[in-house]
Chain A
């Protein structure tokens, strides 16, 4: 499996797709950050704890793009030119071929998403200090759940890419799985509480839930008006999201492997 991981990393360094994908997503991140700053943050008393929640809510699609574009490419592209065949005829077990790619696909998407998350947290904190708007622990908890949901989404994309033997099919399925629940809940005009109660069923709904801070108040601290975000993830709800994310991840990966293990590779 280690050899498969090494060869995938070697290809990624030479495949211009990854460079383009990373560049475009980071451009989008920059554009959204600027727009968010202009819309919500201009004129505010800034701090890391204030900026991070505001920008995080708008970064959902950045995480989505990294997750889907990278995991689908790594899992499905080598079916197209059959270079995946070498791994089997070279004596790697099918489990190594499949899970080796899953590790690289998930790891790559996570690392880039983590880079974005780090920028969101570190830059404003370095510039303005953390502040009092929300505790660090709350941000850590929410980002941890976002990470698990991204892993779940990537596992789904890897499953589809493997079964369909196509990175395009995997990417399409990933984007569909992300947007369809949002569209459906909007069309049904569901109440917020109802959406929250079913959010564990979908990565998108879960990420939307944990990345948004709806309730806030203003307090006067150390001579300044400070916005305080009141929303906190309940332990029961966050546990539910984490467990279902892990469970669905395992199910998707195992389904993908079950199909791949018995498939004829032409």
Chain B
């Protein structure tokens, strides 16, 4: 898993007065399942469209399989598959006819593959039903089927489980995990369903207002999303000063309700509570808080200024 297959450097896309993507850089290695997470309008789809060649960057560059010229990118895309926004389809044609058209567009000689992928996504029995009469979930499945037609090496999927029922979500997740495991397919996937991404991604990219906020491996994220120790005292500002000056602890911040969140050292809580008490601070409540990906995400994109407080800030506020 060392070969870089997608590389994006200082990518910027400006639409009129708005920067949809602002100086984003990242690399995706072969074999990754990389989750692209961000709120609506964050720039996820724009990034995918740039990778797909639908949108041209204002600044910056992309490399696919190390190639960056138009010819090299076109060749690289022939080894990839994309599902961006709502899948595109001819409404007056059936699922099979739409996939046949895609096979012709892509130069896939084996039309038997169409029946295979329709079975995989559960659309094998749609027969003569026109795509215009499909539900959103069925159209999503058709989009995934189209992405599987050519047995790609990389799949770029924009909210592929949008509109699917819970059973469908599980099927897609298991399919993608199987494709990654058995066929070594690299996957870049965006979604709002964070719980789903946490069950399959090896890496995460957080994006907000066009900017890359964070790129973490699953392991790094697990540690960062880990628990913290929450302390309510009768004098939070004094407690903060005691923690930093007496104990040398700086990895904490103050929540909106005034409680102190300790991210390290909470396996040594006896020493912490004793030191607080000896310095005139009475701990009122103390407990371990278990964080999760969603909370981490809300912290990432909800408040860009949610840094750990420095001691000087606390003194100023006091």
Q: Which residues of A contact B (CB under 8 A)?
A: 3-4, 6-7, 10-11, 14-16, 81-83, 85-94, 262, 264-266
Can you spell out 25 A-B residue pairs with CB atoms less than 8 angstroms apart? A3-B105, A7-B102, A11-B90, A14-B93, A14-B97, A16-B92, A81-B88, A81-B90, A83-B101, A85-B52, A85-B54, A86-B146, A88-B53, A89-B52, A89-B77, A89-B81, A89-B82, A90-B78, A91-B74, A92-B105, A262-B56, A264-B54, A264-B55, A265-B55, A266-B54
User: Is B90 within 8 A of A83, CB to CB?
Assistant: yes
User: Is A6 within 8 A of B93, CB to CB?
Assistant: no
User: Is B106 within 8 A of A3, CB to CB?
Assistant: yes
A91 in contact with B54 given A3-B107, A83-B101 (CB within 8 Å): no
Residues of chain B within 8 A (CB-CB) of A94 are 70
Q: Which residue in B49, B74, B90, B146 is a CB contact (below 8 Å) of A92?
A: B74
Residues of chain B within 8 A (CB-CB) of A82 are 88
A-B pair count, CB < 8 Å, reads 81
CA distance A85 to B104 in the complex (A): 14
CA distance A146 to B78 in the complex (A): 40
Most buried by B among A4, A7, A15: A7
Residues of chain B within 8 A (CB-CB) of A266 are 49, 54-55
CA distance A11 to B100 in the complex (A): 10
Residues of chain A within 8 A (CB-CB) of B15 are 264
Q: Does B129 contact A (CB under 8 A)?
A: no
User: Is A91 within 8 A of B76, CB to CB?
Assistant: yes
Question: Chain B, 79-110, contact with A by CB distance < 8 Å: what is the 0/1 string?
Answer: 11110100011111100010011101111000
Q: Which residues of B contact A (CB under 8 A)?
A: 15, 49, 52-56, 70-71, 74-82, 84, 88-93, 97, 100-102, 104-107, 146
Q: How far is the CB of B128 from chain A (nearest CB, A)?
A: 12
Q: How far is the CB of A31 from chain B (nearest CB, A)?
A: 29
A7 in contact with B104 given A89-B77, A91-B76 (CB within 8 Å): yes
A83 in contact with B104 given A89-B53, A90-B77, A91-B78 (CB within 8 Å): no
Q: Which residue in B70, B81, B97, B146 is a CB contact (below 8 Å) of A93?
A: B70
Residues of chain A within 8 A (CB-CB) of B79 are 91
Residues of chain A within 8 A (CB-CB) of B105 are 3-4, 7, 86-87, 90, 92
Residues of chain B within 8 A (CB-CB) of A86 are 88, 102, 105-106, 146
Residues of chain A within 8 A (CB-CB) of B92 are 14-16
Q: How far is the CB of B52 from chain A (nearest CB, A)?
A: 4
Q: How far is the CB of A80 from chain B (nearest CB, A)?
A: 10
Q: How far is the CB of B90 from chain A (nearest CB, A)?
A: 6
User: Is A91 within 8 A of B89, CB to CB?
Assistant: no
CA distance A89 to B50 in the complex (A): 10
Closest to A93 in B: B74
Residues of chain A within 8 A (CB-CB) of B102 are 7, 86, 90
A89 in contact with B84 given A4-B105, A7-B105, A264-B55 (CB within 8 Å): yes
